[in-house]
Structure 1
Amino acid sequence: MAVQDGHVPARRIAGGNRQHRRDAAGAVPWPLRVAAATGWRFLVVLVMVGAIAWVLGHLATVTVPIGIALLLSALFAPLVDRLVRWHVPRALATILAIIVGFAVLGGVLTLVITTVAASLPQLQNQLAASLANINDWLRNGPLHLSHAQLQQLLDNAVKAVQGNTSELTGRVLSTAATVGGVLTEILLTLFVLIFFLYSGSQVWSFLLRIVPAASRESVDVAGRRGFASLVSYVRATVAVACVDAICIGIGIWLVGVPLAVPLAALIFIGAFVPIIGAVIAGAVAVLVALVANGFLAAIIVLAVVIAVMQLESHVLQPFLLGRAVRLHPLAVVVGIALGLEIAGVVGALLVVPILAVAKSAIGSLLHDPRLDPGGIDPLRPRSARTGTGQPEEKGEPE
C-alpha cells in the first residue's frame, strides 16, 4: 500500500509494533521468562491463600467449630453408616454415635482427673525432695552458690511475679470472660456435627449446586476423595495415638513415674498434632520423670519416647496412612506454624487434615477429572482412590 501525504497506514504501524514486541521478548533469556511467568502465578496463589487464611482467622468463632465438626464426622460417620446398614434409623444411629463418643471422652477425663487427684500428694513430696536436691547441687556443685545468692535469686523471682500480678490477673479475667464463648463454640460444634452425620450427603449436594454444571462431576469426585482422605487420616491418627499412649504409658508405669495415666492421655492428645505434639508430650513426660524419679528414670523415659516415635514414623504412619494422605514433614511443620499463627492450638490441630484433604482433592482434579462420582464411597478410603470399588494396592489398611 502506497504512502500518501506522508501518512503511514495504521495496519503497518500495528504490524511494526508487534514485530518490535516479539524482538524484545526474544531478547529476554528463556530461563528469565520462565521464572517471571512462574513468579507472578506463585504470587497470585500466595495472595489467594493469604486472603483465605485471613478470612478464616477473623471468623474463627465459626470456622473452627465447623472444622472440628468435620473432623469428628470423619471419625463417627463410619459408625453411623454401619448402624444404618444394620437397619437402625439414621437419626437414632447419629444420636448413638455421639453418645458413645462423649461417653468415651467423659470416661477418659474422669480417669485422668481422679488419677491426678490421687497422685498429687505423692508428686508434691517428690517435688519438694527434688527441689532440695537442686538446692544442694547449686550450693555444693560446680556453681558453689552461697545461701545469700540463692536467696537473692528467690527474691528476684518473687518480685518478678509480683510485678506481673496485674497482667496475670487480667489474663485470668480474660480467660473467665471467654468461657461463655467456648461453651457457645462447643454447642455450635455439636449442632453442626449432628447435621453432618444425619444429612451430610444433602449438605454436599446443596454445595455442589453453586458449581458450574460442566465442572460439577469433577468437583464431586474431588470432594468425595478429599473426605475419604480425611476419614483415612482420622482413623490412622487415632490408631497411632492409641499405640503411642499405650506403649509410652506402659514404659512410664514400669519406671515408676507418677501420673502415668494423665501422661498417657496427654501423649494421646499430642499425637493429633504431628511431629510437634509428640515432641511436646514426650518432653513433659521426661520432665515429670526427672522431677519425680531422678536423672536415670528421665533417661529411660526419654529412650522409650524416642523408640516409640521411631516406630510411629517408620512403621505405623507409612502403613496406616498410605500414599493418599502422606505429607512431607516440611509441609507439616510449616502448616502447623501457620495454623498456630491463625487460630492457635486448634489451628495446629486442624491444619494437617486440611492439607491432606487439599492434596487428595487437588490431585483428583488434576489427574482424574472424569470419574463417575457414584462409584466413589468416601467412607472407604482405599476404594475411593480408584473410583472402582477395588483397593489401590495391597498392604494398605481399609
Structure 2
Amino acid sequence: MAVAPEPGAPPRRDSADYVSFGVRIAASWAWRVAVVVGTTGLLVWMLGHLSLLVVPLMIAALLSGLLSPIVSRLRRLRVPVGIAVGITLLGFLGLVTALVTIVSRTMARGFEPLWQQAVAGLETVEEWIFTGPLQFSNDDMADLTNETLEQLRNNSSEILSEALSWGSTLGHIVAGILLALFALIFFLLEGQRIWAFIVRLLPADARRPVDGAGRRGWKSLVNYVRVQLFVAFVDAVGIGLGAVILGVPLAVPLGVLVFLGSFIPILGALVTGTVAVLLALVANGWVNALIMLIVVLAVQQAESHILQPLVMGKAVSLHPLAVVLAVTGGTLLAGIAGALFAVPLLAIANAVIKYLADRGWERDPVLPPAATGPPVDPAPAAGAPPASDAAYASSSSVDDWPAPADLDGEEPSVAQETSSRSPSERHGA
C-alpha cells in the first residue's frame, strides 16, 4: 500500500532530475551516434566477408554508369534494347581489346632493342660490381649465389603456399570478372524493371522519396564515371608527353597503359609509373630515369590532390577535402577496392541524403494533381495491384537505374512502359 506524502512535504525527485539538461542532450546524441557507428561497422564487416560478391556487382554498377548513356542514345534511334546493349558491350570490349593489342604489339616491336640495351646495362653493372669500390670477387659472388639458393630451399614450403594463394586469388579474379560482366548485361538490359520492382516492394508512402533519391544517386554515379574518364585522359597525356619530351621509347603505348591503369587505384599508378621509369632507365640512363620519375610523381600528385578533388568534387557536389579524405579512408579500410568505391559511394550518399533532407520529392512532377492527396485504395479487382500501386506505376518516373534511358527523361520510364501492360503483368514486373 502506497504511503501518501505528508501535506506540505516537497515532492520526491527522481534521480534523472539531478542530471543537467545539457548532459541529457549529450547522452541522447551519444547513444544515437553509437547505434549509427555500430550499424555502419557491422555493415562494413558483412560487406568485407561478401567481397567476392559485392565488388563485382559494384564494378558492374560503375561500368553501367559509363555505358548506359550510349544505350540511351541508341534507344532514341529506335534500336531495340537487346541490340543496343549488345552493340554497346561489344564496342566497349572491342575498344579495350584494341587498346591492349596496340600496347602489346608496339612494345613487342620495340622489345628487342630495349633488351639489347638492358643486357648492355647489366654488363656495365656487373663490371662495376667487380671493379668498382665494392671489389667483389668471383668467390664472393659464388657465396652470395649459394646463400640465396639455400634460402630458397629452406623456404620452399612457404613459397609453394604463397604460389597456391596467388593461384586461388587469380581464380577469384576471373570469377569476379565473369560475374561483373553478367551483372552488367542485366543492369543495362533490365535495370529499369529491377529498380521499379525494388521500389514497389516498399510502402506506398515511401515510394516517391526512394525513387527520387535513387535517381539522384544514380546521376551522381554517372557524373563520377565521366569525370574519372577525364582524369585518366589527363594522366595519360601528362606522362606520355613527358616521355616524348625526354625521348623515352614507346611513349604512345605508355600513355595508353597509363590511361587504362588510371582506373585501378594505387596499383595502376604504381605499375604504370614503374614501367615509365624502367623504360627511361634502360633506354637513356639513370639521369633520364630520375627526371621521368619526377614527371610521373608530379602528374600523379597533381591528379590526386588538385585535379581530382576540384573536378570530381564539382561534378558530384563534394568538397575537395571530402574527396581526399574519402579516398584515404577507403584505402585504409579496404585497400584497392576501398579507394575505387569510396568517392562514388560518398557521392551517392551525399545526393540521397540531400534529396531526402530537402524533401525533394514534394517538388518533383511525379504524380498528377489528382493523385497527390492521401491515397484511398478501393477494393482492387482480382489479380490487380492496389490503386496506389497502379497510380504510381502509371505516373511515376522511375528512370534508368541502371537503365538505357538517362536522367533527362526523354525516354519513357519503366513504370510508364509497364502501365501499357495488363495489371497482372505490371504486378509481377
Separation in structure 1 between the aligned mates of residue 365 and residue 274 of structure 2, nearest angstrom = 46
Q: Is the 8 A contact 1:229 1:381 kept in 2?
A: no
| Superposition TM-score, scaled by structure 1 size | 0.78
Q: Structure 1 residues 263 and 171 mapped into 2: Cα distance closer, same or farther (>3 Å)?
A: farther
TM-score, length basis structure 2: 0.73
Amino acid at match of 1:324: V
Unaligned 5+ segments in structure 1 are 384-398
Cα deviation for residue 84 of structure 1 reads 0.5
* 1:354 Cα offset (Å): 2.1
- Which of 338, 363, 382 is 2:333 aligned to? 338
In 1: Cα distance, 2:264 partner to 2:171 partner: 26
Q: Which residue of 2 aligns with 1:104?
A: 95
Structure 2 CA distance for aligned equivalents of residues 152 and 325 of structure 1: 62
Q: Secondary structure at the match of 2:316?
A: helix
Residue 112 of structure 1: SS of its match in structure 2?
Answer: helix
Partner Cα distance (1:323, 1:298) in 2: 36
Distance in 2, matches of 1:286 and 1:246, equals: 16
The match for 1:16 is: 12
Return closer, same or farther for 1:34/1:265 CA change in 2, 3 Å cut-off: farther
1:318 aligned residue: 310
Matched, 1:7 2:23: no
Distance 1:281 1:352, change over 3 A: farther
1:368–1:299 CA distance, 2 compared to 1 (3 A): farther
Q: What is residue 202 of structure 1 aligned with on the other side?
A: 193
Task: Give the match's secondary structure for 1:197.
Answer: helix
* Whole-angstrom distance in 1 between the partners of 2:207 and 2:79: 32
> Is the contact between residue 237 and residue 255 of structure 2 (CA under 8 Å) also seen in structure 1?
yes
> 5 Å matches for 1:347-366?
347-366=338-357
Change (3 A) 1:162 1:119: farther
Task: Compute the displacement of 1:76 (Å).
Answer: 0.5
Aligned residues: 368
* 8 Å CA contact 2:224, 2:315 repeated in 1: no
CA gap of 1:48–1:236, structure 2 versus 1, over 3 A, is same
CA offset at residue 226 of structure 1?
A: 0.9
Pick which of 301-310 and 61-70 moved more: 301-310
* Percent pairwise identity: 38
SS in 1 for 2:248: coil
| Amino acid of the structure 2 residue aligned with 1:318 | L
Cα shift at 1:363: 2.5
Distance of 1:244 and 1:6 partners within structure 2: 80
Amino acid at match of 1:146: F
Partner of 2:393: none
**Residues 115 and 161 (structure 1 numbering): CA distance in 2 closer, same or farther, change over 3 Å?**
farther
Closer, same or farther: CA 40–320 of 1 in aligned 2, 3 Å: closer
Residues 137-178 of structure 1, C-alpha deviations (whole Å, 9 max, x = no match): 55666x635335555545444443443333333333444455
Question: 1:317, CA displacement in angstroms?
Answer: 5.6
- Between the aligned partners of 1:354 and 1:272, the Cα distance in structure 2 is 16
SS at match of 2:219: helix
Residue 87 (1) aligns with residue 78 (2): yes
The residue correspondences of 1:129-208 to structure 2 (distance < 5 A) are 129-135=120-126, 144=134, 146-147=136-137, 152-177=143-168, 181-208=172-199
2:377 is aligned to: none
Change (3 A) 1:275 1:173: closer
Alignment partner, residue 391 of structure 1: none
Q: Distance in 2 between matches of 1:8 and 1:121?
A: 103
Change (3 A) 1:127 1:47: farther
2:330–2:338 CA contact under 8 A, matched in 1: no
Contact 1:230 1:353 in 2 (8 A): yes
Q: 1:331 to 1:188 in 2, by over 3 A?
A: closer
- Contact persistence 2:232–2:258 (CA under 8 A): yes
Superposed displacement of residue 224, structure 1? 0.7
1:215 is aligned to 2:211: no
Q: Which runs of 5+ in 2 are unaligned?
A: 367-396, 410-429
In 1, the alpha carbon distance for the partners of 2:246 and 2:26 equals 57
1:231 aligns with 2:233: no
Q: Which amino acid aligns with 2:226?
A: R
Deviations 1:3-30 (A, max 9, x none): xx99246xx99x6243x3122x12x8x4
CA shift digits 1:108-144 (9 cap, x unpaired): 2222222343343334333333344445555666x63
Q: Distance in 2 between matches of 1:252 and 1:352?
A: 30
Counterpart for residue 394 of structure 1: none
1:240 Cα deviation (Å)? 1.4
CA distance in 2, matches of 1:139, 1:37: 73
Contact 1:233 1:353 in 2 (8 A): yes
Deviation at 1:70, TM superposition (A): 0.8
Counterparts of residues 7-86 of structure 1 (less than 5 Å): 7-8=3-4, 16-18=12-14, 20-23=15-18, 25-26=19-20, 30=22, 36-86=27-77
